[in-house]
A and B are shown apart, each in its own frame.
Chain A
Amino acid sequence: MRIVKRYNPFAELEEISREFNRVLNSAKEESNNLAFIPTVNTREGDDAYYIEVELPGIKKEDININVNNEVLTVSGERKIEEESKDDEFYRIESRYGKFERSFTLPEDVDSDKIEATSNNGVLEIKIPKVQKVEKKPKKIAIK
């Protein structure tokens, strides 16, 4: 197991590009005023697709996942905690407010069986693939 990830000189560039997109998108979608776009990883397993969304400091209750027309959307809001309401922020780097990220689902998924778990601030969405029923070759007799 590798602890140290290989240095990727493009990582910062990708981040700039994402930030740039965020600015562009926020200008485009002024109506929903997104505060940030969460960091995401996607992968495919044997029986399912997985989406991991990093949402540190956000309660489970403040996260929504929905599927509409083959598009899965994770949205929600990072709120300032009740106990911190009176606090002064000396430095603030986390983005507070609304977030959203959408994914177009592949065709072979069973959208009724999507599951989500949250662990250490990472939401993992499991999208099972449709179990293919093997059809036996059928012989048709000629009458």
Chain B
Amino acid sequence: MANITKELQNVEKKIEDGVVETAHKAKEFFANVARHTPLANILHNRKKDQFKIEVDLPGVNKEDINISIENDYLIVTATKEMKKELNENDYYLLESKYGKYYRAFYLSDDIDRDSIDAKFENGRLTITLDKVASKKRRDIAVK
């Protein structure tokens, strides 16, 4: 009887170890693919015929932001790092998400790829996009 109990406990332990190991592997796997999506706003200024994309990246350093154009997409990537001297165990409450941020925006044909401008202020990235000159709004005088 004692043997059966022991055997059962062994099996139980093995299952438990297996679960822990699998969970650990899953965690590692997700750590490599997990990336966060930052909040973004898209604005259009009719007067200037300009588009503006705002991406909220609080706590990110300017140097850790990358903007690129691939095919017809404007891609914003960023890395948010915890202060060097700290780690997550130092926090009582940790709501911020650290790691990689990624967001892609489709650029329509009428956007001038060469006149894209970006600034980073108060944790918010603002990208200004102009329309191609020939597609800009024009007023035509009536003669």
**Residues on A facing B (Cβ under 8 Å):** 1-7, 11, 14, 18, 39-44, 52, 54-59, 84, 86-94, 118, 120-122
Contacts and interface: CB of A to CB of B under 8 A. Distances in A.
Contacts of A18: 95
Contacts of B42: 89-92
B99 A88 contact: no
A5 B99 contact: yes
Interface stretch (B11-19, B68-76, B85-93, B131-139): B85-93
Contacts of A122: 58-59, 123
A37 B10 CA distance: 49
Given A1-B84, A41-B94, A121-B122, A54 B59 contact: yes
A56 B124 contact: yes
Contacts of B94: 41
Contact of A121 (B92, B95, B99, B124): B124
A55 B58 contact: yes
Given A5-B31, A57-B56, A86-B47, A93 B95 contact: no
Contact of B32 (A4, A40, A57): A4
Contacts of A121: 56-59, 122-124
A43 B24 CA distance: 27
Interface residues of B, number: 45
B81 A1 contact: yes
A25 to B, nearest CB: 16
Interface string B110-140: 0000000000101110000000000000000
Contact of A4 (B45, B86, B92, B100): B100
Contacts of B61: 120
Output the residue of A54, A55, A58 with the most chain B CB within 10 A: A54
Contacts of A86: 45-47
The 5 closest A-B pairs by CB, nearest first: A121-B123, A7-B30, A56-B123, A121-B58, A57-B124
Contacts of A4: 31-32, 34, 99-100
B112 to A, nearest CB: 18
A125 to B, nearest CB: 13
Contacts of A118: 122
A139 to B, nearest CB: 41
A1 B40 CA distance: 28
Contacts of A55: 58, 122-123
